[in-house]
Amino acid sequence: MRFLSISAAVLASVALVTADLSKIVRVDPASQQFIDANGRSRFFHGTNMIKKVPPYHADINQFDPGYSLVDRDIQVLKDLNINSIRLGVQWTGVEPVRGQYNQTYLDITGTIIQRLQDNGIYALLDQHQDVWAPQLCGEGAPDWFVQPGWVIPSDMMPVPQQSTPFAVDANGMPSAADCDSIDWSTSYLDYAVGNAFGRLYNNYDSLGDAWALYWKTVVTNYHMLPGVLGYDLMNEPWVGDHMADPTLLIPGRADSVNLEPLWNKGTAQIRTVDNTTIVFFEGVTFDILSGFENVPGGDGTHTAQSYHYYKPPQLGSVETTIQNRITDATRLKTTGMMTEFQFWGSDNATLALILEAAQMADTYMQSWQGWSYEELWSGDNYSLPLAQIYARTYAEATAGVAKTLYFQDTTAKYWVSWIADTSITAPGLIRIAPNTYYPDGIRVFFVPAGTGTYTMENENVVQLHYTSTAVTGQTIQASVQPYFPTDIIKSSASTGFCMDNSNAFVNPNNPIIIWGCSSSANQVWKFKNGTISLAFDPSHNHDTFCLDTQPIASKTYFSAVLNPCQAGSQTQQWSVNAAGNIINASNGYCLDITGSTYKAGTDVITYPCSGNPNQEWILPRGASGTW
């Protein structure tokens, strides 16, 4: 009896954990949204986990920064607020000897997928490759794929990138040092690389069939796991034998001539085992618009184009690339997902580009996975500025077709709107990273008011429920906001001006001025427990710098300044009255725009309350009275 009740509890908890990892069952081509088994639209934020060298899988026993999947990694993935991983399931790991599949490798990969699933994270299984095989200074395909004598000796790697071929060992492998001496991306243009891809596409020695059977093996092992989001047939496929047929280099041509038939072949094998899971397919990386005539297997409701944004080879902005891929998806009656974008160069410039990509993905309702988990780590620590971008709030499920997604980076406010479908009983889901953005908890608002309620599935997932007031077909908006009001403070008399921490200097006694409203971090304030603090100072410390006052020599009034927050400091205590006066600084004075001079740079002071408009402010919702 005792034994039985324990197993029932274990079963119940397993059911709870997996309850919301509902299987992604199709794509709605009209909205270009992924749909789960509960009928909800789904969105993914994630990163790539690809182990390109032996043993070709993450370490599941010991922490190894960027290359393991143990408890510490799971905690980091939660802090990153991600719900999906593009996971390399390397062909060379699966089939080290032709026709012999390595069950040990497959089982370890199964453990990884299961571990992700148990923690609410989907896996997109990826046949990752770069420059195909070790004989070509690349990786992905098994060692047995490339055979000696496929190209004449004088055309071997890396000709014509360099005129002299590298020396090779008895197994035909060039040395690591030689391979490191060339630019890997340029080596796609080499004779030997084009030749190998050509043989894959024209099924020389049944190599295309072998690739398709690798996929069947992968799918047979994992298709029953609801956490499997999809199968990404091949990372960044090359065009084929461009030396024999240079027209393959014409954008779009290789997609239809070479890739599409192989994608159909792989999908046919996958579909003998699994008719549900989404097949992701890539075009040639330098294509601006895809040249496919149809999606793999012909059914766009179970496919998605997996696309990347790097510049080069893409020419325009990330927005242009996303627009082009939406055009592709519209023509092919399917959807797409940005599965890699913009390397991080450990600098602010690339950080800004990564943020731009994440913002554009919201604007166009695209799911994304960044490159890559390993890049986040530097030694034993991961990059906080990069993690902050990953951790942005997002709707991962809407109970109805989503219409808009928007996260405001400076205030951590999030809005999602969707067309209600009250026949969907599973809750909408919003992912949050409390440690990064909501240290004091959240508030949730619905518009129209009263159409929804919320519960927490766990500290990272907000569940949105319809009330009986919600009507199918109406647009509902939900907003997740920091528990304490957070926003700009506008002058009431001259609404173009906002209270501004001068020059964004986070220093003691830094002056507070008025400046044109910009919503930048030095204008966003948090109202908490009677204090007004900078909501997000550049180091993203919370509640560390507060609005304060400072005596001015030979004056009876005070200057408004920024100072380190001090518990119990009277000069840092404020309240707001019905007129919009921000009162006190220990003496009942009001915050005041000096001399009613409405121009950028005018000092804010505290002055005896006068009833004049230069002391009236428009404050964020919830910041009236005391807070």
Ligand X SMILES: *[C@@H]1O[C@H](CO)[C@@H](O)[C@H](O)[C@H]1NC(C)=O
348 near ligand X (CB under 6 A)? yes
CB of 376 vs ligand X, minimal distance in Å: 13
Residues of span 437-476 touching ligand X by CB under 6 A: none
* Amino acid, single-letter form, for residue 343: F
Q: What is each CA distance from 544 to 446, 528, 558, 592, 612, in whole angstroms?
A: 31, 12, 22, 24, 32
Span from 32-40, 123-131, 471-479, 570-578 in contact with ligand X (CB under 6 A): 570-578
Q: What is each CA distance from 566 to 403, 549, 573, in whole angstroms?
A: 43, 13, 10
Cis amide linkage into residue 96, ω under 30° from 0:
no
Contact call for residues 51 and 137 (beta carbons, < 8 A):
no
The pair of structure tokens assigned to 601 is 């740079």
Assign 620 to helix, strand or coil. Answer: coil
573 near ligand X (CB under 6 A)? yes
CB of 172 vs ligand X, minimal distance in Å: 18
Closest CA to 372 of 54, 128, 110: 128
CB of 413 vs ligand X, minimal distance in Å: 21
Span from 206-214, 333-341, 483-491, 569-577 in contact with ligand X (CB under 6 A): 569-577
Query: In angstroms, rounded to a whole number, what is the distance separating the alpha carbons of residues 373 and 68?
Result: 10
Residue nearest to ligand X as judged by C-beta position: 379
The pair of structure tokens assigned to 97 is 């000897």
* Amino acid, single-letter form, for residue 62: Q
Q: Tokens 């397993």 sit at which residue?
A: 14
Give the residue with the Cβ less far from ligand X, 247 or 570: 570
Give the residue with the Cβ less far from ligand X, 183 or 380: 380
583 near ligand X (CB under 6 A)? yes
Residues of span 239-278 touching ligand X by CB under 6 A: 271-275
| Binding residue (CB under 6 A) for ligand X from 441, 538, 595, 601 | 538
Give the residue with the Cβ less far from ligand X, 477 or 575: 575
CB of 63 vs ligand X, minimal distance in Å: 14
CB of 476 vs ligand X, minimal distance in Å: 32
The pair of structure tokens assigned to 436 is 């990064």
554 near ligand X (CB under 6 A)? no
Q: Tokens 């950080």 sit at which residue?
A: 351
Assign 94 to helix, strand or coil. Answer: helix
Residues of span 97-136 touching ligand X by CB under 6 A: 102, 104-105, 108
Give the residue with the Cβ less far from ligand X, 221 or 321: 221
526 near ligand X (CB under 6 A)? no
Give the residue with the Cβ less far from ligand X, 55 or 595: 55
For the chain, how far is it from start to end, CA to CA, in angstroms?
A: 53
| Binding residue (CB under 6 A) for ligand X from 473, 568, 611, 625 | 568
Is 121 exposed, middle or buried (CB count within 10 Å of its CB: 0-12, 13-18, 19+)? Answer: buried
Angle, helix 191-201 to helix 260-271, in steps of 10 degrees: 50
Contact call for residues 416 and 427 (beta carbons, < 8 A):
no
Helix or strand run (H / E) with residue 455: strand 452-458
Taking CB under 6 A as the rule, which mask of x and - marks residues 354-383 in contact with ligand X?
-------------------------xxx--
Residues of span 154-213 touching ligand X by CB under 6 A: none
Give the residue with the Cβ less far from ligand X, 271 or 392: 271
Span from 400-408, 582-590, 594-602, 609-617 in contact with ligand X (CB under 6 A): 582-590
Query: In angstroms, rounded to a whole number, what is the distance separating the alpha carbons of residues 369 and 286?
Result: 19
Taking CB under 6 A as the rule, which mask of x and - marks residues 59-98 in contact with ligand X?
-------------------------------------x--
Query: In angstroms, rounded to a whole number, what is the distance separating the alpha carbons of residues 524 and 620?
Result: 10
Span from 76-84, 259-267, 424-432, 564-572 in contact with ligand X (CB under 6 A): 564-572
- Name beta bridge partners: 228: 123
Taking CB under 6 A as the rule, which mask of x and - marks residues 302-331 in contact with ligand X?
------------------------------
Span from 198-206, 313-321, 483-491, 580-588 in contact with ligand X (CB under 6 A): 580-588
CB of 151 vs ligand X, minimal distance in Å: 27
Give the residue with the Cβ less far from ligand X, 180 or 380: 380
Contact call for residues 509 and 501 (beta carbons, < 8 A):
no
Give the residue with the Cβ less far from ligand X, 142 or 428: 142
Closest CA to 585 of 600, 612, 603, 604: 604
DSSP string, 576-612: E-TT--EEETTTTEEEEEGGG--STTPBEEEE-----
Give the residue with the Cβ less far from ligand X, 200 or 565: 565
List contacts with ligand X (CB under 6 A): 55, 96, 102, 104-105, 108, 271-275, 347-348, 379-381, 529, 538, 567-568, 570, 573, 575, 583-584, 586-588
